Chain A
């Protein structure tokens, strides 16, 4: 093989869809048939996975730590719910509206996150989340305030698939939208644009020294991530028929960070893995000990960080020397 051919095939390997990725998606899509009684949990996990993946776009790929990502999730949810209630109940149109509203808010917020150091940025993201929470609370004539926005009724998806009580349609709807957005994000991160995000994460000084405007690209990806979070929020409101203030909650943003810590940042499957592990642990442990499940999640995280994710996943390394922490 010539050098050029080697170069081309190495680069192609980086972005080629791996067989296990396709298997994972096939399994996800047949899961509502195999586990019909868990459809609601499946659609919730799917939505949270999309939400976590959207946070990974900024946390894992550019290194911006955000504790206010739930603001976009909540805004998306309220936009979708209000649109269904006041304008029209079509889910796909409503979802587009949710994405647009969250994207607009994200664009607005880039003005704040592009300034300051990591710590001030963290506080600003937290502040945006709190502002949205308080707005949702005060504008109770529109949002229902602390009672939440109830009585959201959705029309059938594409005019055919009625949302049923046991949540099968909801699960497939959430899975389809998430899969679609996942493949878009996947393309994005393997493109030159996506690689330049990794450049910024690894070394900002050098990134501008090769002629890339760091602030412009940060603004773009922050806005895109906000839009994707809005889609997740919209999906949740549409599939549950409900939007409430806790969507904006700080603990939701914090949970999301935990999921990325569990699944790993900087690869799109990290958000998905993290969401699945986190949600399954939550529902499994909560069944045994409803009050103290956070204790077990905490213990799990401590072990994960001390031992390192890579070592847990690869038993072969259990007896080798530690090289590098996985997180």
Chain B
């Protein structure tokens, strides 16, 4: 496959809530294997854009293409089946199940066995193999049999991403993956995010500028629902328009606060 193949594309995407335009003619594309970050001040419409892409919200105007196919009107679960998967800013986990049960279910679903009702969960070796890989990759092996609600926050955050990766995405939307993770558990999470498979295209929403500049090879700046500018990290860091939006403060410093 071509290195520069476009995986996800949106054109003229608009979302209005009554008189408010939350997303204003956004056009952007994601190449195969991209490490693309979406930044912007609070209320810039980043989460609305993610909700439009994943099908939580229906766009007022515009179209979304995944792997060359129009997916603008597909439901959430159909988009997931076609390879667009997200994580959530606030963990959306299955509290009474263990990480192992959770991942075994997601992997079974992904391998087309999610509706089987006679064989036991995990009776297929293909499923348990993939589960083991994921548990190892996300450092969840030692807590795999504990109910999710008692796990440490950092582990829950890892599970949040592991679930998404278990869906074998072509495009992965990471909504603030390190938000709220205490310093002690942060490094493990950052390394895991950095080690995500290279062929998966990733769109990262993040307030943590250290992570953004370390991780992303391309940045889109969203302001008031519209794309302000797009470019390489260097280009964005030196763009006066971007600096103005961030109250004149320097972008490459971790001082930038968004709360």
Contact = CB atoms under 8 A, between A and B. Distances in A.
Chains A and B belong together in one complex: yes
B166 to A, nearest CB: 8
Interface string B75-92: 111101100011010001
B118 interface: yes
A7 B117 contact: no
Nearest to B76: A208
B52 to A, nearest CB: 15
Interface residues of A, number: 35
B132 A3 contact: yes
B113 A192 contact: yes
Given A7-B144, A198-B96, A198-B97, A192 B136 contact: no
A148 to B, nearest CB: 37
Contact of A211 (B94, B100, B110, B144): B110
A282 to B, nearest CB: 31
Interface string A191-217: 111111011011101101111111001
B96 A266 contact: yes
Contacts of A198: 94, 96-97
Contacts of A210: 77, 80, 85, 106, 109-110, 163, 166-167
A7 B100 contact: yes
A327 to B, nearest CB: 13
Contact of B116 (A3, A8, A193, A201): A193
A156 B120 CA distance: 36
A302 B211 CA distance: 52
A194 B122 CA distance: 12
A206 B159 CA distance: 12
Interface in B36-92: 54, 75-78, 80-81, 85-86, 88, 92
Interface stretch (A10-18, A86-94, A270-278): A10-18
A12 B96 contact: no
B8 interface: no
Interface string B120-134: 111001001101100
A211 B77 contact: yes
A209 B56 CA distance: 9
B122 A12 contact: yes
Given A202-B96, A209-B54, A209-B85, A15 B114 contact: no
A209 B128 contact: no
Interface size classification for chain B: 35 or more
Interface in A93-142: none
B161 to A, nearest CB: 13
Contact of B121 (A15, A202, A206, A266): A15
A208 B77 contact: yes
Given A193-B117, A194-B117, A266-B96, A209 B76 contact: yes
Interface string B152-167: 0000000000010011
A110 to B, nearest CB: 16
Contact of A15 (B77, B115, B120): B120
Given A198-B97, A199-B94, A8 B122 contact: yes
A249 B131 CA distance: 47
B120 A206 contact: no
Interface in A155-214: 187-188, 190-196, 198-199, 201-203, 205-206, 208-214
B100 A10 contact: yes
A98 to B, nearest CB: 22
B100 A11 contact: yes
B54 A192 contact: no
**Among A10, A12, A217, residue most surrounded by chain B Cβ atoms (within 10 Å):** A10
Contacts of A194: 117, 121
A4 interface: yes
Contacts of A193: 114-117
Given A10-B145, A202-B96, A209 B118 contact: no
A13 to B, nearest CB: 9
Contact of A192 (B96, B114, B135, B167): B114
Contact of B114 (A11, A202, A206, A212): A212
Contacts of A266: 96
B220 interface: no
18 contacts: A8-B122, A11-B104, A15-B120, A188-B118, A190-B120, A191-B116, A191-B120, A192-B113, A193-B114, A193-B116, A195-B105, A195-B121, A196-B105, A196-B115, A198-B96, A202-B94, A208-B75, A210-B163
Considering the complex of A and B, which 10 residue pairs feature the smallest CB-CB distances, nearest first? A11-B122, A211-B80, A206-B92, A193-B117, A202-B94, A192-B108, A195-B105, A15-B120, A191-B117, A208-B76
Given A7-B122, A194-B117, A194-B121, 15 more contacts: A3-B136, A6-B144, A12-B122, A187-B118, A191-B119, A191-B120, A192-B117, A193-B117, A195-B97, A199-B97, A208-B76, A209-B85, A210-B106, A210-B109, A213-B75
